[in-house]
Chain A
């Protein structure tokens, strides 16, 4: 059973809560394989996607997951919203709640927004990515994918590569994988990977060759190209030459290592096309698993609400 009615981050979850989500995701994935991919589990509930940052993939995934559970879904995105008319963020969320929402899914470019709103709302809040803090459903779907491919987490060597400091995906994954018993290594230039991360109980590397040695799972991150002008790295060419994933680099990892990426990819910048499309890549399966995991999250939070 979950301890809270929101999913704000992985940081606050126990390993048991994470496993509860992953196990249910497995059942929901079976449903997604059927001809009729819909269950009445949350019929009559209303889910609102409140996205203050452009997103197609995550929003679509949440929307479809909510529809598969038979909820009514409303998409409320920033450009069409009253935010532009000067309404405060909290007022917008309260309005959505007053319209009868049961679950509000929030994405915002500022860290902590879902946490702030959750203190003022009675509905369940799901964090769909807040600033550079967390993206908990991404970490859950990544863990689910790893569990499917590798069977478990204990002692598993997972390498996360790229812009760690600015990546909410990396942070949620670090917390999640550590809680589940995996060994986590982080690889990237020191400008994007401060040493303080070691205090989280992970290893840090600036060299891909050293960091990938014996890895079971390789998790690439999307490089925000606008960082180039800010002095974090000189050129995308140099970045790819040092921290891009190519077939040659892949040899350092275990032969059965799986390659993951949260998307959207910058081909040729953080990952070469032959790796992205190669036999070890599970990138499209991550997308499919995202649906099952998000169904599981909404299902359990709704259950929690009835307590």
Chain B
């Protein structure tokens, strides 16, 4: 099968390119990438199917470093299949699955199970992230070598901080033998306490326990200090605070090997979304203040924050009828991330090229995978995205089983039209 994509605005951060180009795909691989000009020669082969991408962005398949697929154990919230399909609809052709399933992905057997299910699902590529500690209990290291052998791409106790500084130190040290990445859910558990939203006047006047922003800041500081001590590779997940951005910026200025991500909700919403006890805006780390949102944007702009990840955290329908304190945290984010990211381009925080970089080559580089680029000879993974299409989000129409999103009913701009994965061309309405 031959596929020719013409007239699109092609963005390929791997070659620092954003402009008009045509792409010819042959047998599921990128055959030709032709800047400023039609691909004419057919060399006696059959006429390709032509996709006219006028007015569209044509970008490499996106990579989500931070996804919760819930299987095994919480299949009513999401399965590997629904999550991997939701990913494709959101433009992600690769997702990294966090280990907080039941059982926890803390051994090679679970890793293999996830990969097997993902293979059968036929959605986005799933790269499992193994737990740092057995059962994510923060006590004993999980078997990194065996899990790496089975296919784990990185290690994290995401959902729970590694409370003990000694265990975190050991994890960073031990992972060095594999040159493996440790992803930190940076939250000081004592300072965060049982806080269910950001600490401040709003938490006081809603009568909800607050989680102070310093709970994130001090933990980022600790983990950076430990990364410096050990020389381990550290990535800070879901940065949400001004203080967190500042600490990471200082560490990078000192030349330390630390990278960081934030999520669309941390640059799109403030804690005000929680008012009225809106459980769909309950997320951990919590939504912060306008000053934090500005600092996150600045961190995205100046490169302190390398990656935009979704922290896709689907929950079942019962979430909405639970009282706020009891409701689980998380936002179903795979299908809205690109639209929300596009708002950064519209606001002038990033160029389109820079946005796509944080969704493709930057995570690929941190994860050491050969993905997220439009290189001739590689498997075709690309997304056709209409940056002007406006739509009102209807959570019920999302593929993800998790309908929990604070963006439900909001008008969003920019929509994935097609996702191309090898031989498959998926069309979304």
Contact = CB atoms under 8 A, between A and B. Distances in A.
Asked if A and B are interacting partners, one says yes
Nearest to A108: B323
A110 B200 contact: no
A69 B282 CA distance: 41
B323 A168 contact: no
A127 to B, nearest CB: 11
Contact of A196 (B201, B207, B208): B201
Interface in A124-148: 130-134
Given A116-B321, A200-B205, A110 B326 contact: yes
Q: Which of B200, B277, B318 has the most CB of A within 10 A?
A: B277
B144 interface: no
Contact of A199 (B201, B209, B324): B201
Interface string A101-121: 000000010111101100010
Contacts of B204: 165, 171, 194, 196-197
Main secondary structure of the interface of B (DSSP, over half): loop
Contact of A133 (B201, B206, B318, B321): B206
Contacts of B208: 111-112, 131-133
A203 to B, nearest CB: 16
A90 interface: yes
Contact of A112 (B200, B207, B318, B321): B207
Contact of A132 (B207, B321, B323, B326): B207
Given A112-B277, A116-B277, A90 B321 contact: yes
A132 B203 CA distance: 10
A88 interface: yes
Nearest to B277: A112
Given A116-B321, A131-B207, A134-B207, A111 B277 contact: yes
Given A111-B277, A196-B200, A116 B205 contact: no
A89 interface: yes
A11 B323 contact: no
Given A111-B277, A112-B277, A116-B277, A171 B205 contact: yes
Interface residues of A, number: 25
B323 A116 contact: yes
A294 to B, nearest CB: 21
B276 interface: yes
A138 to B, nearest CB: 14
A116 B201 contact: no
Interface string A193-215: 01011011000000000000000
A125 to B, nearest CB: 13
B325 interface: yes
Contacts of B326: 110
Contacts of B201: 196-197, 199-200
Nearest to A135: B207
Interface string B208-234: 110000000000000000000000000
Contacts of B323: 89, 108, 110, 112-113, 116
Contacts of B325: 110-112, 131
Contacts of B322: 88, 116
Nearest to B325: A110
Contact of B205 (A11, A90, A130): A11
Interface string A55-82: 0000000000000000000000000000
Contacts of A111: 206-208, 277, 324-325
Nearest to B318: A88
A185 B209 CA distance: 23
A113 B323 CA distance: 6
19 contacts: A88-B318, A88-B322, A110-B324, A111-B206, A111-B208, A111-B324, A112-B208, A112-B323, A112-B325, A120-B321, A131-B325, A132-B207, A133-B208, A134-B207, A165-B204, A196-B200, A196-B201, A197-B204, A200-B205
Given A88-B318, A111-B324, A116-B277, 16 more contacts: A11-B205, A90-B321, A108-B323, A111-B207, A112-B208, A115-B277, A116-B322, A116-B323, A116-B324, A168-B207, A171-B204, A196-B204, A197-B201, A197-B204, A200-B201, A200-B205
The 9 A-B pairs at the shortest CB distance, nearest first, are namely: A133-B207, A111-B207, A112-B277, A132-B207, A196-B201, A110-B325, A110-B323, A131-B207, A112-B324
